[in-house]
Amino acid sequence: MSITNRFYPARRGDQGPWLTNWIDKIAGYQLILGYLVAEIAGNIADAQRILYLINTVQGESQKFAQSITAHVEIVLHGSGADLVPIPLFILPTTPLPPGNVKPGAEKRLLAFIANLKTRPGYNAAIGIDLQIVSSTTPSDPGAAPDPGAESKSGYVLLTFVKAGHPGMLIQYQVGASAVWADLAVCTSSPYHDVRPLAVPGQPEVRRYRFCFWDNVPSNVWSPVYEVTFGG
């Protein structure tokens, strides 16, 4: 079995460098590939907006969520005589936001790349320079998954990459339990653990581990991921 390494990174955190390379280089291939200036400009606008959203907007929103959590803790459990104002979400002034685009920017970008590969001027060197060439590597039967777990409002978000396997087995523990139980065999990511709290209103610790599923579990487990779920 082999693993397909798709050219467009699956993880948002890895997409920034890919998008930066694309934005910097695609205009240089406009004439070779026979695109109109407006077609390239529209494609770059999509890529720039995606880059801004994942690098700046998403990053700042995560920091803001942390400041809100800290505010709630101060109000609920802090001390002092002064009122504490709720933090405001303010985006930084730099970098300047690129122009807004219509929904579907990532779909348009990938469709553009699919079309680009059909152009008479396209060759392998261009594909490598633009980082749009997928590759395959033999799968390691002893490899462990590299998933993620994050507590959200009302569920726990479980993400993973199947790496060429049909599915992923997820097991869990809750609280002081030391027994692993099957949660799900998933064929697509993400998985939402929407089970309610064992005791309503009382946050609980949930632990997860993952292994690849090829009709039977590989039993090569990921590290244990622990989150505190508040319902």
Query: Is the bond preceding residue 190 a cis peptide, omega within 30 degrees?
Result: yes
134 Cβ contact partners less than 8 Å away, ≥ 6 residues apart: 4, 5, 6, 7
- Is 128:78 a contact under the CB 8 Å cutoff? no
Q: Residue 135 is which amino acid? A: S
| Residue matched to tokens 């809100």 | 68
Same domain, 195 and 105: no
Instruction: With respect to residue 70, please indicate whether it lies within any of the assigned structural domains.
Output: yes
Instruction: With respect to residue 213, please indicate whether it lies within any of the assigned structural domains.
Output: yes
Nearest to 3 by CA among 212, 224, 215, 222: 212
The span from the CA of 5 to the CA of 191, in Å, is 22
Same domain, 31 and 103: yes
Q: Give me the pLDDT at residue 16, please.
A: 94
Same domain, 35 and 123: yes
CATH number of the domain residue 185 falls in = 2.60.40.10
CA 13 to chain CA mean position, Å: 7
The span from the CA of 141 to the CA of 72, in Å, is 46
Coil/strand/helix, residue 229: strand
222 Cβ contact partners less than 8 Å away, ≥ 6 residues apart: 144, 145, 146, 147, 209, 210, 211
- Which of 136, 165, 183 terminates a domain? The answer is 136
- Which of 92, 109, 136 terminates a domain? The answer is 136
Coil/strand/helix, residue 127: helix
Instruction: With respect to residue 56, please indicate whether it lies within any of the assigned structural domains.
Output: yes
Same domain, 110 and 173: no
The domain total for the chain is 2
Q: How far is CA 81 from CA 74, 75, 87, 132, in A?
A: 12, 11, 18, 58
Q: Give me the pLDDT at residue 162, please.
A: 85
* Structure token pair of residue 77: 């459990």
pTM: predicted TM-score of the whole model, two decimal places: 0.62
Instruction: With respect to residue 142, please indicate whether it lies within any of the assigned structural domains.
Output: no
- Which parts of the chain register pLDDT below 50? none
Burial (0-12, 13-18, 19+ Cβ within 10 Å), 129: middle
Rounded CA Rg of the chain: 22
* Neighbouring-strand partners of residue 19: none
Instruction: With respect to residue 141, please indicate whether it lies within any of the assigned structural domains.
Output: no
| Residue 118, domain extent | 2-136
Helix H, strand E, coil C: the string for 99-140 is CCCCCCHHHHHHHHHHHHCCCCCCCHHHHHHHCCCCEEEECC
Q: Give me the pLDDT at residue 130, please.
A: 97
Q: Give me the pLDDT at residue 137, please.
A: 64
